[in-house]
Amino acid sequence: MSEDLNIFLHKDLKPIEGGEGVLSGLKIAIKDNILVRDWPATAGSKILEGFIAPYDATVIRRLKESGATLVGKTNLDEFAMGSSTENSAFGPTKNPWDIKRVPGGSSGGSAAAVAADLCDASLGSDTGGSIRQPAAFCGVTGLKPTYGSVSRYGLIALASSLDVIGPMARDAETVEKVFSVISGADNNDQTTFEYTYRPVETDLSKLKVGLPKELWELSIDPEIKIAVRSFVDWLADKGAKIVDVSLPSVVYALPAYYVILPAEASANLSRYDGIRYRQSVVKDGQKLLERYMDTRSLFGAEVKRRILIGTFALSVGHYDAYYQTAVNVKAKITADHERVFQEIDLLLTPTTPTLPFEFGAKSDPVEMYQSDLMTVAANLAGVPGLSLPCGFSQSNLPIGAQLIAASSGENLLLSVAKQYQMETDWHTRKPN
């Protein structure tokens, strides 16, 4: 099945068997932008073909020390830039629920690997929704942790102020197991903070859940609205108080994100110079700068597009209008989240505005960017978010609901998700 769906890259890799530990027996697939020593890591790009990771990412070291078995590297949009895996230089991954449709992205391979039963859990990375959106499209549970709670050491950088690694699995209990292992401070990543995951048993009747009106008022597929509403009703039946809340700044989250991300990416991707990495476009009489520019022609269209936008936003005359304004908006979004979480415990929204779409359906870049509408604010605010299956469309496509908590509130997210999954079976359904 995996061969047909193009879930795994480097298909000849032999699994790294686990030993004793809390994750003993758990088979975990790894997104191909996370380094596993002696395994290739392409980040879905031709420019990194032939690169063999010389060390383990911190999350990988922790998985190995906890006895997990690593089964392979999963496909992604090139350098995690995309929402469908269509930007992978190695072809798109197909959605196990409908092979004519995308699995979401950028961690589409990791989500599809769980949905197709090729592993027990997987690691993805989330910069604007890249764990939660594919989790929703593939009918699995995915956690985007608080920024800084999981080390980025050994993650191929996209936008360093937003990137975070997180787990995906069929159920919240497995997500929790993996998250408790990979989280925590790391001297190799100065943006991590002291963090110890402590599970809680949340009393749902004391919970206050906010529905952010700015996101619920957006154009959302009616079937998604109905399914997520049923999750809201379930919480209300348990005694949770449901309230409307306002986060006025979130409507600017997506444009701010599409300034900050390209700006940081244009700097981060400057390292692929044709000198330090194996891929190099060599021509007769070529000078150093020409080698650099020629090699970078190996980048795909979306990567080039974002490097151009990032360079534009950072250039003299445009810096204040674009980058500084986007940074100001990010601060406002963070403040709005801090304010709202003084009044409520959780935010609840659909994870995506649309059902999984067909390949080629979104050829316009701006239209594709709208896939991140619901998820991107949590990245700008640095707070944790979780997507969990809450229903299916009439055409049997999975639908995800998104829960967002205040910083370090992963235990609250996972407790609510676990209780929901004890009483529902959406997460247990498997594609044919």
Partner 1 sequence: MSEISNEDIAHLAKLSRLTLSDEEKEKFAKQLPEILEFVDRLSVVAKLPSVSQPQTVPLAKLRVDEESSEKLSLADLQKLAPAWHDSQLVVPAVFGEVADE
Q: Which residues bind partner 1 (CB under 8 A)?
A: 51-52, 54-55, 147-148, 161, 187, 190-191, 249, 252, 255-256, 258-259, 266, 270, 274-280, 282, 285-294, 296-297, 299, 301, 304-305, 307-313, 315, 321-322, 324-332, 364-366, 369
233 token code pair: 């009703």
Alpha-carbon span 298 to 166, nearest angstrom: 29
Kindly tell me which of 49 and 173 has the beta carbon lying closer to partner 1.
49
Nearest distance from C-beta of residue 152 to partner 1, angstroms? 11
Alpha-carbon span 230 to 227, nearest angstrom: 5
Nearest distance from C-beta of residue 41 to partner 1, angstroms? 11
CB neighbours of residue 278 within 10 Å: 11
Residue with tokens 């967002």: 404
Nearest Cα residue to 127 out of 267, 261, 306, 322: 261
Nearest distance from C-beta of residue 156 to partner 1, angstroms? 13
Q: Residue 8 forms beta bridges with which residues?
A: 74
Alpha-carbon span 316 to 400, nearest angstrom: 42
Nearest Cα residue to 80 out of 220, 354, 351, 264: 264
Kindly tell me which of 210 and 382 has the beta carbon lying closer to partner 1.
382
Kindly tell me which of 243 and 335 has the beta carbon lying closer to partner 1.
335
Nearest distance from C-beta of residue 279 to partner 1, angstroms? 7
Residue with tokens 């505005």: 353
What backbone torsions phi and psi does residue 347 show, to the nearest 5 degrees? -105, 145
Catalytic residue among 122, 130, 183, 371: 130
Kindly tell me which of 230 and 286 has the beta carbon lying closer to partner 1.
286
Alpha-carbon span 42 to 36, nearest angstrom: 11
Kindly tell me which of 33 and 266 has the beta carbon lying closer to partner 1.
266
Catalytic residue list contains 31: yes
Nearest distance from C-beta of residue 301 to partner 1, angstroms? 7
Alpha-carbon span 215 to 232, nearest angstrom: 15
The reply to whether omega before 66 is within 30° of 0 (cis) is no
Residue with tokens 């008022």: 217
Alpha-carbon span 23 to 406, nearest angstrom: 27
Contact between residue 116 and residue 8 where contact means Cβ atoms under 8 Å apart: no
Catalytic residue among 27, 31, 94, 177: 31
Kindly tell me which of 234 and 292 has the beta carbon lying closer to partner 1.
292
Kindly tell me which of 171 and 186 has the beta carbon lying closer to partner 1.
186
Catalytic residue list contains 106: yes
Nearest distance from C-beta of residue 198 to partner 1, angstroms? 23
Nearest distance from C-beta of residue 48 to partner 1, angstroms? 10
DSSP-H helix ranges across 242-324: 253-268, 288-295, 301-314
Catalytic residue among 45, 66, 84, 106: 106
412 token code pair: 């609250």
Residues designated as active site: 31, 106, 130
